[in-house]
């Protein structure tokens, strides 16, 4: 086939993956368009090859999809299982006392995600010393992988479905551990996995920032501290350019080539070595989608040279994409692969452009993916791409390599490398603190596609004509920003934060943004031998993520109903990420020392305002009556009108408090009642429900929570009063989206009725 | 895999977004980039009469010397070492495959010209028998042309390129019009096509014949100047 025909022949495959990715209409349109382009090449051979590929890929996609559907089980009802599974030792990832890995069911060959807990320091030590492929017999609980339970949340289920994984297993006990028998075919890959395990354990001992960089760049595994250490890089968009997109792989391979050339090794020899070593390096580098792309592209071109077929860069890219699609049919819908494949295509096709236009191009091509995936963008990204990107191959990569290599002999040098990297990190973090971070919000998916198409189109124009397109494109970004930030509708949203409460009250045009509680988790004291892990907040993935997806960067009023961790535990995540204008707490809580540490790392000064029923705040305060310790009994109860409905939020208030409220106001009614204390029997007295006569009851509780919330007594009370209940346990996030006096209820999951 | 027609090495053809996003076959360049660089295109200021590359846009010395016998010529490339090497291999060694090297630029240049009839300069009988092709029509892909000129039978076959300037200038009219020529060129704008413009003698002889056939206007295009 003629040069670059493979590239065009691969585009219909991408379109087919869109069809199977849940966009049948848009996908079929793309199939027609891309096939049309192949026809217009007027090459019978290319056309037949394209059809053949399209048929083969469709077959494979259908087969994979049916396999995933067949394997699917309920995500809500765990079953007890005993099974044997095999995995490579480098798959084991430790986090504190828990471990996690992807294994294969030995009987069926089905991939599973597995999570378990070690019981002692000795066991942890033993697991870290594993070097051979493992065969474990475990008993545990098997459950389907839970899809995203909040709107705009990262969808773990589809991520894993793309990889053929549908079930996760929680290990209760490991019955037997042994080395897995391996066939002669696996000897080579086992060897590479063993090397990767050794590399990970080796990098794990490195000091400070060096450890994070070494783990990320060499074996491609994320240190638990990566989130904190690389914050600056992440915010400035550098991390996406490198770690995700696999550019560092190309750099490392180029370094190896340079070394071979300068050591005067014959090209014939090292080219074969490189070609045969690539699959091994792929395993060693962690096998991510960016690594796969980089290795495949290099391998295809090198292999072509060995059999005297010149493969154009574009064709090599297309080959890597086709194989990538076989490995992961959902490639197009994941941020990492979008950036990896998109930016490398940009680098190929914009190679002839001036430096300035190339930077503009890469920024424009990455922007829709970034906004769709992480909802924000730092304006300094453009600057850092120009100034800091050269820093990476010149400073960060060499410093990391030197630090890693010198550690056994001259740990001092490793220490220096760690310092240099930490300084760089610090500088970048300070840079990221500068104004310029745009909380854009999540644009509609079709707008992202449109931006991408126009961005590519822009570069088919000669540079002089591009200005008007560029201005138009930027204007469309401005319009989208405006529409996201000044929405016509408001909402009352009950987040699914597991066992806990968190509610968003957002008025149309974002006139006033209030939240009730943040959600959070009870932290249990850990034994001394458990390695310390940095604090992470679930809010980052659930409610805070949702606020970001709406482009919200501030909260006017944050009500904290009382001091329990499941209501205010994730407060630091909010105070660090966005501006909270004031905290409203039940009178008496403001002076309690127990929760003050949560305010310690706030980015902006926090104003704490105690409130009682007499307080004039936007919501009507129904409880407490006077200052008291902020326990459940003294929880805030708040009432408000939104979109033609009356809402009552009970916090964790118990029956005594309810009695007090209806005693005070016998006429009290409401439409939507957020049940007190997650549906516990300590709240929601029959008399209270009968008096309020709500049309809906909302229960905010965790799946399989240890308290058995909501209690059967409460559900019985609701049934008796004929009040339908919706629970975050089965419905995920629940929101009432309204404009004017009308609105609609939406739930993230289909939900099974509790009552 | 694409092979360069000149150096016969394989090369990666450059691809642009425009080529990919158009509903047309991808262009297959005949030359690799280093062979392409052996040609020097005439850009910017050039002589308005003969198309020679120069610093100003006034008629060059050679054109001035022609006096009133004017002819407007356009040229694509400078007649430098690269072009000479190309012509040597193509014309004199008869490497017919090399015609493809300049088909694309000629195609684009012809598209920019305004004319009704394209008339390539013919080769004489002897050249036909030895070379086997007309080097000028070899550069055409599917553009229609009319072979209305013929070389007179009594014309002495000594190639122009083997003569000095003075000898060239005194060359007698070598061309005659085809019998059917008048019908084709009467009242039409004719574009003459030749390989190299050196003194302009050949083209002026041809132009004179075409005018005699009743053409409204005659201009010329050459690959090199």
Q: Tell me the two tokens of residue A527.
A: 């034994």
pLDDT, tens digit, for every residue of A262-293? 999 888 888 898 899 999 999 998 888 888 99
Residues of B in contact with A43 (CB under 8 A): 25
pLDDT (mean) for A717-725: 94
Contact A3 B21 (CB under 8 A): no
Question: 3-class DSSP state for residue A435?
Answer: coil
Cβ-based burial of A534 (10 A; exposed 0-12, middle 13-18, buried ≥19): exposed
pLDDT classification of A343: cutoffs 50, 70, 90: confident
pLDDT (mean) for A631-647: 95
Contact B17 A36 (CB under 8 A): no
Q: Rounded distance, CA A53 to CA A38, Å?
A: 13
The answer to whether residues A508 and A492 touch, using CB atoms and an 8 Å cutoff, is: no
pLDDT, tens digit, for every residue of A468-489? 999 999 999 999 999 999 999 9
Contact A4 B13 (CB under 8 A): yes
pLDDT (mean) for A618-638: 94
pLDDT at A319 over 90: yes
Q: How many CB pairs under 8 A join A and B?
A: 52
Our CA-based measurement puts residue A241 at a distance from the nearest CA of chain B, in whole angstroms, of 23
Chain centroid to CA A582: how far?
29
pLDDT at A555: 96
pLDDT classification of A503: cutoffs 50, 70, 90: very high
Our CA-based measurement puts residue A17 at a distance from the nearest CA of chain B, in whole angstroms, of 21
How large is the ipTM? 0.79
Q: Rounded distance, CA A580 to CA A513, Å?
A: 10
pLDDT at A622 over 60: yes
pLDDT, tens digit, for every residue of A355-407? 889 888 988 998 999 899 889 888 887 777 777 777 777 888 889 999 999 99
CATH of B40-224, one of 1.10.1220, 1.10.10, 3.40.50, 2.20.25: 3.40.50
H/E element, A692: helix A686-692
Q: Give the pTM.
A: 0.88
A312 Cβ under 8 Å from any chain B Cβ:
yes
Q: Which of A193, A241, A261 is nearest to A221 (CA)?
A: A193
User: Dihedral sign, CA of A428, A431, A437, A443?
Assistant: negative
pLDDT (mean) for A48-59: 97
B179 Cβ under 8 Å from any chain A Cβ:
no
pLDDT at A168 over 80: yes
Residues of A in contact with B13 (CB under 8 A): 3-4, 312
Ranges for all domains in chain B classified under CATH 3.40.50: 40-224
pLDDT, tens digit, for every residue of A680-703? 999 999 999 999 999 999 999 999
B1 Cβ under 8 Å from any chain A Cβ:
yes
Interface test with chain B among A312, A349, A456, A465, by most B beta carbons within 10 Å: A312
A688 Cβ under 8 Å from any chain B Cβ:
no
Cβ-based burial of A624 (10 A; exposed 0-12, middle 13-18, buried ≥19): buried
B15 Cβ under 8 Å from any chain A Cβ:
yes
Interface test with chain B among A315, A460, A462, A465, by most B beta carbons within 10 Å: A460
Contact A42 B25 (CB under 8 A): yes
Contact B21 A460 (CB under 8 A): yes
Residues of B in contact with A40 (CB under 8 A): 23-25
Residues of B in contact with A3 (CB under 8 A): 1-2, 12-13, 15, 26, 28
Contact B26 A2 (CB under 8 A): yes
B27 Cβ under 8 Å from any chain A Cβ:
no
pLDDT classification of A755: cutoffs 50, 70, 90: very low
The answer to whether residues B160 and B196 touch, using CB atoms and an 8 Å cutoff, is: no
pLDDT (mean) for A634-654: 96
pLDDT at A580 over 60: yes
Cβ-based burial of B155 (10 A; exposed 0-12, middle 13-18, buried ≥19): middle
Interface test with chain B among A2, A4, A5, by most B beta carbons within 10 Å: A4
pLDDT, tens digit, for every residue of A534-549? 888 999 999 999 999 9
Rg (CA), chain A: 28
pLDDT truncated to tens, each residue of chain B (225 aa)?
688 999 999 888 888 898 999 899 998 899 999 999 999 999 989 999 999 999 999 999 988 888 888 899 999 999 999 999 999 999 989 999 999 999 999 999 999 999 999 999 999 888 888 899 999 999 998 899 999 999 987 766 677 777 888 888 888 889 999 888 888 999 999 999 999 998 899 999 999 999 999 999 999 999 999
Contact A312 B12 (CB under 8 A): yes
pLDDT (mean) for A118-136: 94
pLDDT at A49: 96
The answer to whether residues B216 and B143 touch, using CB atoms and an 8 Å cutoff, is: no
A32 Cβ under 8 Å from any chain B Cβ:
no
B94 Cβ under 8 Å from any chain A Cβ:
no
Q: Tell me which long-range contacts A446-451 makes (C-beta under 8 A, separation of at least 24).
A: A446/A26, A447/A368, A447/A476, A447/A480, A448/A368, A448/A369, A448/A371, A448/A372, A449/A26, A449/A368, A450/A476, A451/A364, A451/A367, A451/A368, A451/A476, A451/A477
pLDDT at A753: 46
Q: Rounded distance, CA B88 to CA A733, Å?
A: 79
Nearest CB neighbour to A309, from listed B1, B15, B17: B1
pLDDT at A396: 83
Rg (CA), chain B: 18
């Amino acid at each position: 086939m003629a040069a670059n025909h493979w590239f065009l022949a691969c585009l219909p495959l991408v379109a087919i993956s869109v069809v199977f990715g849940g966009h049948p209409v848009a996908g079929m349109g793309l199939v027609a368009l891309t096939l049309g382009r192949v026809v217009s090449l007027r090459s019978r051979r290319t056309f037949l090859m394209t059809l053949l590929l399209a048929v083969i890929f469709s077959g494979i996609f259908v087969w994979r999809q049916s396999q995933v559907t067949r394997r699917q089980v309920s995500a809500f009802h765990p079953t007890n299982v005993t099974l044997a599974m095999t995995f490579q030792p480098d798959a084991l990832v430790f986090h504190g006392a828990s471990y996690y890995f992807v294994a294969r069911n030995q009987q069926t060959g089905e991939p599973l995600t597995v999570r378990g807990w070690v019981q002692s320091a000795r066991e942890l030590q033993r697991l870290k010393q594993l070097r051979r492929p493992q065969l474990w017999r475990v008993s545990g609980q098997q459950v389907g992988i839970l899809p995203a339970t909040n709107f705009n949340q990262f969808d773990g289920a589809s991520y894993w479905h793309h990889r053929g994984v549908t079930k996760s297993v929680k290990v209760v006990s490991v019955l037997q551990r042994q080395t897995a028998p391996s066939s002669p075919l696996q000897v080579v890959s086992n060897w590479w996995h063993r090397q990767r395990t050794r590399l990970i354990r080796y990098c794990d001992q490195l000091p400070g920032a060096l450890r994070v960089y070494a783990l990320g760049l060499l074996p491609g595994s994320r240190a638990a501290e990566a989130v904190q250490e690389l914050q600056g890089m992440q915010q400035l968009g550098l991390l996406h350019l490198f770690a995700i997109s696999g550019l560092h792989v190309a750099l490392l391979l180029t370094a190896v080539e340079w070394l071979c050339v300068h050591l005067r090794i014959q090209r014939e020899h090292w080219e074969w070595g490189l070609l045969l070593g690539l699959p091994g390096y792929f395993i060693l580098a962690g096998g991510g989608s960016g690594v796969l792309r980089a290795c495949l592209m290099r391998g295809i071109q090198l292999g072509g040279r060995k059999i005297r077929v010149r493969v154009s860069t574009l064709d090599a890219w297309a080959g890597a994409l086709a194989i990538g699609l076989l490995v992961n049919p959902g490639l197009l819908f994941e941020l990492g692969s979008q950036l990896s494949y998109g930016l490398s295509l940009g680098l190929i096709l914009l190679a002839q452009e001036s430096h300035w236009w190339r930077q503009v191009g890469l920024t424009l091509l990455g922007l829709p993916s970034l906004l769709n995936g992480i909802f924000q963008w730092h304006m300094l990204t453009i600057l850092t791409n120009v100034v800091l990107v050269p820093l990476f191959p010149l400073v960060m990569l060499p410093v990391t390599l030197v630090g890693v290599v010198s550690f056994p002999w001259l740990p001092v040098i490793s220490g220096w490398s760690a310092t240099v990297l930490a300084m760089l990190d610090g500088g970048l973090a300070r840079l990221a603190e500068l104004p310029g971070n745009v909380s854009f919000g999540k644009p509609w998916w079709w707008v992202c596609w449109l931006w991408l198409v126009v961005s590519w189109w822009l570069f088919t124009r000669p540079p002089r004509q591009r200005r008007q397109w560029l201005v138009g494109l930027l204007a469309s970004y401005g319009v989208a920003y405006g529409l996201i930030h000044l929405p016509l509708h408001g909402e009352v949203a009950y987040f699914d934060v597991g066992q806990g409460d968190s509610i968003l009250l957002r008025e149309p045009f974002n006139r006033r943004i209030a939240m009730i509680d943040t959600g959070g988790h009870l932290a249990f004291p850990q034994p001394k031998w458990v390695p310390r892990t940095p604090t992470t907040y679930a809010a980052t993935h659930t409610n805070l993520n949702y606020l970001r997806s709406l482009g919200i960067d501030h909260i006017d009023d944050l009500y904290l109903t009382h001091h329990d961790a499941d209501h205010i535990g994730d407060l630091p995540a909010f105070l660090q990420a966005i501006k909270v204008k004031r905290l409203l707490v039940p009178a008496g809580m403001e002076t309690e020392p127990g929760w003050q540490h949560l305010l310690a790392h706030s980015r902006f000064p926090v104003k704490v305002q105690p409130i009682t029923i007499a307080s004039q705040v936007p919501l009507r305060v129904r409880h407490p009556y006077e200052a008291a310790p902020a326990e459940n009994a003294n929880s805030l109860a708040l009432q408000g009108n939104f979109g033609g409905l009356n809402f009552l939020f009970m916090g964790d208030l118990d029956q005594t408090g309810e009695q007090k409220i209806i005693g005070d106001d016998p006429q009290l009614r409401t439409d939507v009642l957020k049940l007190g204390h997650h549906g516990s029997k300590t709240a929601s007295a029959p008399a209270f429900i009968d008096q309020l006569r709500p049309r809906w009851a909302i229960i905010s509780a965790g799946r399989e929570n240890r308290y058995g919330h909501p209690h059967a007594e409460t559900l019985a009370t609701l049934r008796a009063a004929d009040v339908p209940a919706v629970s975050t346990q089965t419905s995920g996030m629940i929101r009432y989206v309204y404009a004017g006096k009308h609105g609609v209820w939406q739930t993230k999951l289909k939900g099974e009725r509790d009552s | 895999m694409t092979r360069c027609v000149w150096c016969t090495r394989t090369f990666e053809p450059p691809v642009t977004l425009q080529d990919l996003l158009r509903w047309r076959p991808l262009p297959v360049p005949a030359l690799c980039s280093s062979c392409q660089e052996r040609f020097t295109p005439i850009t910017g200021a050039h002589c308005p009469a003969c198309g020679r590359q120069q610093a100003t846009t006034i008629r060059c010395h050679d054109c001035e010397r022609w006096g009133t016998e004017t002819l407007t010529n356009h040229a694509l490339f400078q007649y430098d070492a690269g072009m000479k090497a190309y012509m040597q291999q193509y014309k004199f060694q008869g490497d017919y495959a090399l015609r493809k090297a300049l088909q694309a630029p000629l195609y684009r240049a012809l598209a920019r010209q305004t004319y009704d009839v394209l008339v390539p300069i013919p080769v004489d009988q002897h050249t036909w028998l030895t070379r086997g092709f007309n080097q000028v029509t070899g550069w055409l892909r599917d553009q229609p042309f009319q072979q209305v000129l013929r070389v007179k039978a009594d014309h002495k076959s000594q190639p122009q390129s083997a003569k000095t300037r003075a000898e060239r200038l005194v060359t007698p009219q070598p061309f005659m019009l085809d019998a059917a020529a008048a019908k084709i060129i009467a009242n039409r704008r004719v574009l003459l096509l030749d390989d190299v413009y050196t003194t302009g003698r050949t083209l002026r002889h041809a132009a004179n014949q075409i005018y005699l056939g009743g053409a409204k206007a005659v201009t010329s295009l050459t690959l090199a100047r």
